[in-house]
Copies of this chain bind each other. A is one copy, B any other.
Amino acid sequence: MHHVLSVEQFDSSQIEELFVEADRFRDQVADPKQRRDLASRYVGKQLCSLFYEPSTRTRLSFEKAAANFGMIPISTENAREFSSASKGETIEDTVKVLNEYGFDIIVLRHHETGSASQAASVSETPIINAGDGKGEHPTQALLDAHTIFRKFGRLDNLRVAIGGDLANGRTARSLAQLLSHYKGNHLSFVSIPELQIGEDIKVKLRESGTGFEETTDMYDALRDTEVVYWTRLQRERLDNPDALPKGGFTIDALALEVLPQDAIIMHPLPRVDEIDPQVDADPRAQYFQQAGNGLYLRMALFDQILK
C-alpha cells in the first residue's frame, strides 16, 4: 500500500483484511506487555501531521496511532493560517519539501477537494488523506464500515437508516457509497427535502441495484433498521427552520423504544443535540466505540504502509 486517498481504492477483501489487522492491534494494545512491544515497532520513523484546517479529533487519533508504534508525530494543526500556504505556496511545493525531510507518512487534512490527490501526485512519501474539503475522508469511511462489521460480521444485506444533513454531510455520503458496493443493502435516508442525499449518490445506488428510500419520518425509518447512522443537521443554516418535523430528528428515549434491540446507533461526532445524552447509556449506542475503532484502523493502515 502507498497513498490512501479514497475508500474506493480498496476492494472488499482488502477492507476485511484491514479490519482483521485493526482488531489484532486492538488486542495487542489491550495487553500491557504487547503494548510496550508495539511501541518499538516503528521507532525511528516519523509521521507528519499536515493539517490545513483544525480537526483535533482526527489529528489526535492519527498521532496516537503513530505513538503506539513508537513513531514520533510532528505536527502542524493549522497550516492554512500558520504556514507558507498563507504566502501563496502550493500544496505540491509543500509536499515536495516534506519529501526531502524524509517523513515516513504524511497525514494531510485540507480544506480543498482534490488536494490530497494533488499532493500524492508529487509525493514519494505515502500520503493519507484525512479529509479534503467536501471530497474524501477514507479512514472515516473505513472506521464507519468497521463499526458495522464488528457488530454484524458483514457489510451486505443490511438495513441502514442514515439521517441528518445528507446534502452536505461527507460521512453520510461516503457510507452510502461504500454500502452500494455490497449486495442486498437497503438504505433509508431521513432528512427534510432540502437536505436530502445528492442525486449523484442516488445514481450510484440505482446503478448498483441498492435499494433506498427518502423519508422525513424518523420513527418510521428506525422501526425496521439494523444500523442508525446519524449526523448533525444545523438548524441555523436552514432557510425555513419550521420545516423540520417536531423533535427535529433527535434520537431520544422515544426513538430507543421504536428501534430494534439488535440495532446499533452510530454518529461520526461531534454531536450536538441530535442524539440525546441519555441515549449514551443504551448498549445500542456505539458512537464512542466507533471513534475508538478509528485508532486501530489507522494503526492497521500505518502498518500496511510501513511493513
Contacts and interface: CB of A to CB of B under 8 A. Distances in A.
B83 A54 contact: yes
- Interface band, chain A: 35 or more
A103 interface: yes
B64 A103 contact: yes
A65 to B, nearest CB: 9
Interface in A58-111: 59-61, 63-64, 67-68, 70, 72-79, 81-84, 87-90, 92-94, 96-103
Given A84-B270, A87-B270, A46 B64 contact: yes
Contacts of A54: 81-83
A153 interface: no
A270 B74 contact: no
Contacts of A88: 270, 272
A35 B104 CA distance: 12
Contact of A76 (B44, B77, B96): B77
Nearest to A102: B29
A271 B44 contact: no
Most chain B CB inside 10 Å of its own CB: which residue of A60, A72, A271 = A60
Contacts of A78: 82
A241 interface: no
